[in-house]
Structure 1
Amino acid sequence: MEKNKLNILNKIFSRSTFRNCFDNGYDKTYSQVVRRYVDNGTGKQNSELISQIYNVLREGYRNEYYYKNTLLNKLLLGIHSVNTTTALTEIPIAKSKADFVLINGKAVVYEIKTELDNFDRLENQINDYYKAFDHVAVVTCKENLQVLKKKIEMIGKPVGIYILQKRGTITTIQKPQAYSVELDAEILFKILRKQEYEEILFNKYKHLPDVSEFKYYSECKKMFLEIPLEEAYLSVLKLLKKRSQIIKDEFSKIPYELKFLAYFMNLKSDDYKKITKFLNESYGGV
C-alpha cells in the first residue's frame, strides 16, 4: 500500500476521528477512507462501513489498532470480564510506554510488535516494564516468531510470547512468569495520579504530608518509598484497577471493531446514544 494510504488507515480508528463522527455526524478522514476503501458506500449504514474498513486492516494492514482491539476483545472480553479485569493503554514506564496492560489479581504488560514493527527497542522496553509490573509478554505475528524467540532468549527473562494468527485468534507460545526482582518503587510512584498516591498514603499512614505545595510531591514520594515494595506494588495494582470508567451495559452494545476506542474514551451516557445514532444512520457520501 502507498504511504499516504497507510497514514489515513492509521487515523481512521483514532479517538478524534471517532468523536467527530458521533458528535458531528461527519469527519473528513472517515469520508476519505470510505471513498478509497469501500465500493458504493453511499446509502450504507455507518456500522456496515466501519466493519468493511476494519476488514481492510484485517486482510492487509494489521496495524497497532488492529492488535490492540483484538487483545481487548479476545483477552479482556473473551477470557476475562469487565467486572473483574481492567485494561490500560499507553502507560508511561521509565523511558517506554506500555501498549496494553491487563490487571485482575495480577498485572500483565503486553508489548505489541506488528508486521510493521522491528525489534530494535524491545530489550529496553521489556527492561522498563519489569520496573513497574511483574508479568511481561510480547504479541506479534507468526512470521516474527523465530526472531522474537531468539531475542527473548538473549534477554534472559521469563517473557511471554503470543501470536496473533491470520484468522484473528491469539495463540499462546509461552506464558509469562512472575519476575519481580527489578520492581522499582520510584517508577511505580510515577505511574500514579495524585489522588491515587494520596489514597495509598492515607490508607497506610492515616495522614498526608503537611508541607507547602512546593514540597508536597517530593514528600509524598518519600512516604511512598518507605512502604515495603511488595505491599506498595499490590496497592498500586488495586488503584490502577479502579481506572476503568466504562458504563458496562452501554459498552456491551458497541461493535467489535470499535471496542478498544470506546473502552478508553471515558464515554458518558449521551455519548453512547450519539454513537448508536451515528452507527444506524446511512452514509451520505459527503
Structure 2
Amino acid sequence: MQNSALLKELADCGSPETLLVAIMKHHPDLCAPVDVEAIARNAGIIEFRVSEAEGPTSAMMADIDKTKGVILCAAGLSAQRRRFAIAHQLGHFLIKAQRGDRHCTSRDLGENRRDTPRRKEEMQANRFAAGLLMPKPLFTTFVDGLGKPTVTHLPAIAAAYNVTLETAASRYVDLTQAMCAFVFIKDGIVRHARPSRSFPMLSIRAGEAAPVAVLSANPNDRIAWLPADVRDWVPVSRGVRPPKLTMQIFSKENGFQLVMLFANAAAERRADEEDEKLATQSPKFGR
C-alpha cells in the first residue's frame, strides 16, 4: 500500500542517498533482513511479476510520471539475487533523472563504473539497492559487533541481510575504514575483486589464474592470517615501498574460494612517514 507522506518526500529527492534518508525516516524500525517488497509497495510499485523472457535479469515498467510501477524478475533467481534485483529496479523507479522503462542484465546489477551515461545510471541504482538492503546505521553497528576484520564475517553478513556474498562484499568495502579487498575465485580463476577505498590498486584481473598460494588451499585448512606476496596482488614499482599484505582464504568443496587481503593502515602510515623522514635527512652532495 502506497505511503502518501513518503511519496511526497521522495518526489523532492534527486540522489540515491537522499532517497535512502527519506525511506529510513518513514521506516525507523527497519531491521535485517529488510522487507524490500513492502518498501517498494509504499513507494509506488503496484505489482511484482516473474519474467519468462530470456536476457534481462530484471525489468521495471512505469507510467510516464513514474507514479506507479511494475517490477519483473527472471524465473529461477535465488531469493538473494531477487531481493537485490527488486531494490535495483526500485532505484531506477525513484531516481528522478532516470526516465523510461528498464531492462537490466546481471552485469548491470554488478556495475560500479560511471564512464558512460548508462553505466552511471546502473551504478546509481546499485548504490541505492545496497543502501536499502543494508542500511548504513544497521550495517555499521552489525559489522562493529563482529569484531576485528576477518573473511568469515562476509558469510555472516550475507546471512543476516539475506544478500549474496558479492553484495555483502561491495557494501563492506564501501563503508569500512580498513585497508582490505575481497577476491572471488571459482575453479582457480579470478571472477572479480572488490577493494576498499584505501586499498592499493589491484593488479590481478578477472579471468586470470589465482596465485599458487591460493590454489594450494583447501576447505579443511584452518582459516588464519597468512603472509601474502604483494607481487601476486598489486603493482610493484622500483623505488616505491610496496604495502605489507596478509590474507585469509575461505575455501569450499565446490571450487569456490574467497580471499580477504588486508593491510594495516596505521603501520602503512608509520612506514610512509619513516621513509619521508629518512629521505629528508639523507645528505645531499653537490658536484
Structure with bigger strand share is 2
Structure with bigger helix share is 1
- Fold match (TM-score > 0.5): no
Q: Normalised by the shorter chain, which TM-score bucket?
A: under 0.3
TM-score by length of 1: 0.25
Larger Rg: 2
TM-score by length of 2: 0.25
